[in-house]
Amino acid sequence: MPVSLNYIFKRILLSILVVIGVIVFSYILLLYTPGDPAVKWAGNPRGPEARKAIEIARRELGLDQPIHVQIAQFIYHVFTGNLGLSIAYKVPVSQVITSGFTATLELLIFTYLLAVPLGLWLGIYSALRRGSRFDSFIQSLSVVLASTPTFWLGAIIALISYSTTGFLPYGRVSYKLATSTGFNPITGFYLLDALIQGNYAVFLDALLRIIPPALAISVYPIGVVARVSRTLVAEALLEDYVRSAVAWGVRRNTIIKHFVLKSIIPPVIQISGLAFVYSIVDAMVVESLVFGREGLGSILLDSLHKADFRVTIALAIYLTIFYISVNTIVDIIQASIDPRVKI
């Protein structure tokens, strides 16, 4: 294994430092944006119970203590997942966030399982036929699609689906169907749950509802992966080892599969990981307002409308932790499969 434990250790240490930085930054935002932090933490309560709620919030945050103690306490609460009850949902914040994450992750993983292979194929194919009509079509299409707002594209897809088939993709699954067939979410990944229970009607329904938003979100990763892999393949084809292989009489397909493809996999993994964390925000916007799915996006909107500061902060922190973990994992994977990365 070419990667040293030293590198992995350093990389993880940096990530932990960044996570702690983000938590401190969030806490500072809570304290120093306009308004009393205790009032914000209690969710701007009104009525006779307000005074009591604010007192409780003040005690929870420990606002009477020195600031470093507050921050240390806050970091401890974040890592133990103990940020109190959500104002909007009346359940623990960690539970709200977890359910949102599973819903959004289901959509994103589904999207990426389709998008990355497709993008890779498009990129390789157009690199091998550079200058052809197919290549220039894909090139122009990718420029246009990269400029398309995802939420708008989602709306157009929903409109097309409705006007051609009369089916409006809304929500994650039809509740009528789910209750009548006794569908019972276990993991929160509905597609997986339906398969485990052998509930094919619900599986099909969930699949039909996940495809349109996935199409809209997939535009970005497909474009990125296609562009990067096209450039990489085009460069790799100019390398000496390809020339030698051609001279030895190695078959064309073997060269592409065994030499060229192997050399572009690490950077493609890295770029997909980067695109993945970007797509989270895309998914949040598309799933909630356009397709009415529950997920991180709907949690964000609810926390805005109900001034649910705990959920906002938890969302910021856990989303960032997720971002950083994906990046770290991708870096480590890349370092361990690409012998050229020397640290």
Contacts to another protein by CB under 8 A: 14, 17-18, 21-22, 25-26, 29, 33-35, 40, 130-131, 143-144, 146-153, 155-156, 158-159, 162-163, 168, 170, 231, 234-235, 237-238, 242-243, 246, 252, 255, 280-282, 284-285, 288-292, 297, 300-301, 303-304, 307, 309, 312, 315-316, 319-320, 323-324, 327
Min dist. Cβ of residue 1 to another protein (A)? 26
Residue 3: left if φ>0, alpha if ψ -120 to 50, beta else—which one? beta
Pick the closer one to another protein by CB: 163 or 179: 163
Q: Which of helix, strand or coil describes residue 174?
A: coil
Query: Do 101 and 322 form a contact (C-beta atoms < 8 A)?
Result: yes
Contact 177, 298 (CB under 8 A): no
- Residue 199 or 328 having the CB closest to another protein: 328
Nearest-10 crossing angle of helices 133-146, 93-128? 150
Q: Which is nearer to another protein, 324 or 337 (CB)?
A: 324
Question: How far apart are CB 200 and another protein at their closest, in Å?
Answer: 26
Q: Which of these, 129, 140, 111, 139, lies nearest to 210 by C-alpha position?
A: 111
Name the region of 98 (left: φ>0; alpha: ψ -120 to 50; beta: rest): alpha
Nearest approach, Cβ of 240 to another protein (angstroms)?
10
Q: Least CB distance from residue 96 to another protein, whole Å?
A: 14
CB of 80 to another protein, least distance (A): 21
> Which CB atom, from 72 or from 144, has the smaller least distance to another protein?
144
Specify the residue, 45 or 181, whose C-beta has the smaller distance to another protein.
45
